A = this chain, B = another copy of it.
């Protein structure tokens, strides 16, 4: 026992209780906490209570279930010790619906282990990872003291849009304040590539309407004398991009953080089969901003996409009209540090200056959320990397994600802290689909990695 350290004791705690932990998470997964179906409202509440009770058992004696106008939020805290960094761990205990039920090899709420894989709705998204976070903390609590101040917030409405979370965060800013948020609700890059996800794209939206004549006109009687709004809209949309894929809106890239050379190197180190990707999407060729790889394009470069387009007659056959108007829905994926309003300003200004003659333009601006990033040289990123390498015995990957996670934006905008996405699921573990599963190897190693991370962060890494 000479070389026993607090960390090794925590890790031993986890290693010696694997069977027991699997039994416990299976119990948690038997509760059908489907937030989308009101018939399961009491199950969702039961899962919250289960989680609270288990947190108490793990040593979080202040654990509580907070009511909201929707499903409850489970909270717990290790208390405050001065000089230690404070970490907020977020997760969700609600799950997706299970239909089509007949596609499941095992009943979704009868958790089954086969070949070291745990099959159940919620196993990877996100109850399995929530429980993994819980036991990582418990290992420290039961063998000594957590090397960080830990706060938990687990919601029950993630799968229905986190309806009441933002208000809850606004109402509990002091309680939730921390130096860093950690979320285990995303996949690793792929099997064998445990990853730190340090960036997400933001989003902004607008809708445009090009108005021509007061009503659809007979194309025989009027065709040739008036601008066709569908043509004008097509010209406008075509003007938004250069032929090579770059966005042509003046100022669009002004606030874009360039990719750091280390990031490009990290992305390039990831295995990526462009031909397999192209073939899976069934497109004749990939297409995007020149000078960037596919991963750079989808993770770290902004986009401007038409999501919907309509004008005139959409039914069967022909209707010989000049349409009265034409419409488009547009969203932009933003990267740090693009300001959503500045981007909308630039687009609106572009649209107005490129409007063809003979029509008028109406622009309706939508909501925006910025992208988020924890700089790759942030101490927490380094700590996560070291923790992964210690447990997986292989280098950590640095990845970003092209989508947005509203709670991360909330933590950034309301609580002013960065978020580390440290997920241990695999991308093909059927989240939201039948036969959702979670590789137990990653359940064990994930808990161990998190346990190491707390030590690294406690040692001053944040």
Contacts and interface: CB of A to CB of B under 8 A. Distances in A.
Interface of A: 201, 203, 205, 212-214, 217-228, 230-231, 233-241, 243, 245, 277, 281-289, 294, 297-298, 301, 303, 305-315, 318-323, 326, 328-329, 331, 333, 356-360, 366, 401-404
B306 A309 contact: no
A310 B230 CA distance: 10
A219 B356 contact: no
A59 B224 CA distance: 46
A360 B203 CA distance: 28
A294 B358 CA distance: 14
Contact of A306 (B220, B289, B311, B403): B311
B243 A306 contact: no
Contacts of A319: 307-308, 329
A203 B309 contact: no
Nearest to A309: B311
Contact of A283 (B230, B308, B311, B358): B358
Copies in the complex: 2
A220 B406 CA distance: 13
B238 A234 contact: yes
A390 to B, nearest CB: 30
Contacts of A318: 205, 307, 329, 331, 366
A407 to B, nearest CB: 15
Given A231-B238, A313-B308, A402 B222 contact: yes
A231 B287 CA distance: 12
Nearest to A367: B318
Contacts of A224: 288-289, 297-298, 301, 303, 333, 402
Contact of A214 (B238, B282, B288, B315): B282
Contacts of A310: 309-311, 314
A309 B309 contact: yes
Contacts of A203: 220, 320
A356 B357 CA distance: 25
B281 A309 contact: no
A235 B226 contact: no
Given A224-B333, A225-B298, A298-B221, A309 B230 contact: yes
A21 B397 CA distance: 94
B303 A214 contact: no
B234 A220 contact: no
Contact of A286 (B288, B311, B356, B358): B358
Contacts of A312: 306-309, 329
A359 B281 CA distance: 11
Given A212-B283, A313-B308, A318-B329, A294 B225 contact: yes
B283 A227 contact: yes
B314 A326 contact: no
Contacts of A205: 318
A206 to B, nearest CB: 9
A220 B401 contact: yes
A225 B333 CA distance: 12
Contacts of A320: 203, 305, 307, 331
A171 to B, nearest CB: 26
Contacts of A223: 298, 303, 305, 333, 402
A323 B298 contact: no
A403 B286 contact: no
A284 to B, nearest CB: 6
15 contacts: A201-B220, A205-B318, A218-B403, A220-B402, A221-B403, A224-B303, A225-B277, A226-B281, A226-B287, A226-B288, A230-B307, A231-B305, A234-B236, A307-B313, A318-B366
Nearest to A299: B224
A333 B27 CA distance: 70
Contacts of A225: 277, 286-288, 294, 297-298
B358 A287 contact: yes
A67 to B, nearest CB: 29
A274 B4 CA distance: 93
Nearest to A207: B318
B307 A323 contact: yes
